[in-house]
Amino acid sequence: MASIADIKEELSKVIYPGFQKSIIDFGFVKDIQIDADDACTILLDITSSAQEVSSKLEQDISEVLNTIGVTNVNLKISKPEAPKQQSNSVSGSNIAPQIKNFVMVSSGKGGVGKSTTTVNLAIAAAMQGKKVGILDADIYGPNIPRMMGINGLEVEVVGNKAKPFNAYGVAVMSMGSLMEEGQSLIWRGAMIMKAIQQLLRDILWEDLDILFIDMPPGTGDAQLTLAQSVPVTCGINVTTPQHVALDDSRRSLDMFQKLHIPIGGIVENMSGFICPECNTESDIFGRGTCEELAEQYNTQVLGLLPIEPAIREGGDGGKPVVYFKPESESAKRYMQATEKLLQFVDANSDKAENASIQPTTNGVSACSTSGAAASQSQSQAQQQSSGGCGTGCGCH
User: Which residues in the 48-67 window bind ligand ATP by CB under 6 A?
Assistant: none
Instruction: Report which DSSP code applies to 153.
Output: P
| Secondary structure percentages of the chain, helix, strand, coil, to 5 | 35, 20, 45
How many Cα atoms within 13 Å fall on the side-chain side of residue 143?
22
CA distances from 125 to 24, 132, 170, 329 (A): 45, 7, 9, 17
In sign, the C-alpha dihedral spanning 3, 77, 366, 196 is: negative
- Residue from 92, 141, 241, 262 touching ligand ATP (CB under 6 A): that is 141
Interstrand relation of 170-174 and 132-136 (parallel, antiparallel or unpaired):
parallel
Smallest distance from the beta carbon of 88 to ligand ATP, in angstroms? 28
How far apart are the C-alpha atoms of 167 and 111, rounded to whole Å?
A: 23
In the complex with ligand ATP, which residue's Cβ is closer, 220 or 359? 220
Q: Which of 370, 348, 340 is nearest to 95 (CA)?
A: 370
Q: Is 372 in the site for ligand ATP (CB under 6 A)?
A: no
For ligand ATP, which is the closer residue by CB, 138 or 209?
A: 138
| Binding mask of the shown chain, residues 98 to 117, with x at each position contacting ligand ATP by CB under 6 A | ---------x--xxxxxxx-
Scanning residues 191 to 220, which ones bind ligand ATP (CB under 6 A)?
Answer: 217
CA distance 1 to 284: 74
CB of 354 to ligand ATP, least distance (A): 24
CB 143 → ligand ATP: shortest distance, Å?
Answer: 5
For residues 356 and 381, is the Cβ–Cβ distance under 8 A? yes
Number of residues that bind ligand ATP (CB under 6 A): 20
Q: Which is nearer to ligand ATP, 116 or 379 (CB)?
A: 116
Sole binder of ligand ATP in the list 143, 197, 252, 358 (CB under 6 A)? 143
Whole-angstrom distance, CA of residue 56 vs CA of residue 363: 10
Q: Which residues from 300-319 bind ligand ATP, rule CB under 6 A?
A: 305, 307-308, 311-312, 315
- The answer to whether 371 contacts ligand ATP (rule: CB under 6 A) is no
CA 142 to chain CA mean position, Å? 13
Q: What residue number has its CB nearest to ligand ATP?
A: 110
Q: Tell me: does residue 276 bind ligand ATP (CB under 6 A).
A: no
Question: Rule CB under 6 A: which residues touch ligand ATP?
Answer: 107, 110-116, 138, 141, 143, 217, 269-270, 305, 307-308, 311-312, 315
